Amino acid sequence: MGPVILEIENLKKYFPVNKGIIFSKNVGMVKAVDGVSLSVFKGETFGLVGESGCGKSTTGRLILQLLKPTGGSIIFDGQDLTKLSREEMRQKRMEIQMIFQDPFASLNPRRTVREIVAEPLVIHNIGTSQERYKKVTELLEIVGLTSAHAERYPHEFSGGQRQRIGIARALALQPKLIVCDEPVSALDVSIQAQIINLLEELQQEFSLTFLFISHDLSVVKHICDRVAVMYLGRIVELAKYADLFDNPIHPYTKALLGSIPIRNPRLKKEREVLEGDVPSPLNPPSGCHFHTRCKYAQGICKTDSPVLKDYGNGHLAACHLY
């Protein structure tokens, strides 16, 4: 394992909720991210999983400082990103890039592919226009497109090809860390496999570090080295992928793994299913956020929120039971 490239300490993001139009007043806080701590090692793929609304995408956006955190620190390569000025952060973004979920919404429809991929280079004043021209062609070839594609517009491409364009753009500045926010969930399975393989090849070739945000556990198991499971803004379990999938500790992780449809028609068993929905993050349950749906919940779970404990081999879980 390489050195730590990204260290997040007690990261918080609260969104105020206001009511009323004229005499608007604050009626509460949505604690989208509520004390998340994790470290990502250089060269690894770190997975962040959870159901919708658990704060995984917000965490990704906080890392790029697209949202200002309410509290906590984000140490990237020895520097606290939360303390940087706008201009310093803009420079820093050369090293951290993002790939978005929806390849239809993340590309400007009025720009050609060449303009889209060259934009990061233009913004950061890299190279002459001829050099940029060459660089774009090179990038497109890296992601499996050709220079013939460069003069076309995004609508002329299929979903998988657009995602390749988004990846080429993210690679343009040779970043160290790429935050991938659900990069394959909008794609069909056969195309999904192509993009996953491409990401893995690029990681090898350019020694990239990925923060991989996804709700699809089978994809996460395939691509990630370590995985953190989030529930209502907090990390409930964090471990190496093999430990997490083979020996989950937290009841939520167990339930999540148990809910995935199994691709074996001979196993027609009735599964254990979590009751109810994820509670509202506006008014999350006291103590352990999961106690309302947990069948092992005890008195202490309703009052005290559990902290992450180490169960050996870097396997962390936040549960009073163990």
Tokens of 307: 């902290």
Find residue 6's DSSP bridge partners. 40, 76
Measure CA 164 to chain center: 18
Cα separation, 185 vs 204, in Å, equals: 22
Of residues 77 and 200, the one with the C-beta less far from another protein: 200
Of residues 76 and 231, the one with the C-beta less far from another protein: 231
Tokens of 4: 């730590």
Pairing of strands 45-49, 71-76: unpaired
Query: Shortest Cβ distance from residue 189 to another protein (Å)?
Result: 5
Of residues 78 and 276, the one with the C-beta less far from another protein: 276
Tokens of 14: 């609260």
Query: Shortest Cβ distance from residue 303 to another protein (Å)?
Result: 25
Query: Shortest Cβ distance from residue 217 to another protein (Å)?
Result: 7
Of residues 74 and 220, the one with the C-beta less far from another protein: 220
Based on its alpha-carbon atoms, the radius of gyration of the chain, rounded to whole angstroms, reads 21
Residue numbers of the site for another protein (CB under 8 A)?
51-52, 158, 160-161, 188-194, 196-197, 200, 215, 217-219, 221-223, 245, 255-268, 270-271, 273-275, 277-278
* Whether 281 contacts 232, CB under 8 Å: yes
- Backbone torsion region of residue 66, taken as left when φ is above 0, otherwise alpha when ψ lies between -120 and 50, otherwise beta: alpha
Query: Shortest Cβ distance from residue 277 to another protein (Å)?
Result: 5
Of residues 55 and 175, the one with the C-beta less far from another protein: 55
Find residue 16's DSSP bridge partners. 29
Of residues 173 and 196, the one with the C-beta less far from another protein: 196
Query: Shortest Cβ distance from residue 76 to another protein (Å)?
Result: 27
Query: Shortest Cβ distance from residue 215 to another protein (Å)?
Result: 7
> Where do runs of H (alpha helix) occur along 110-188?
113-123, 129-142, 159-171
Cα separation, 46 vs 111, in Å, equals: 32
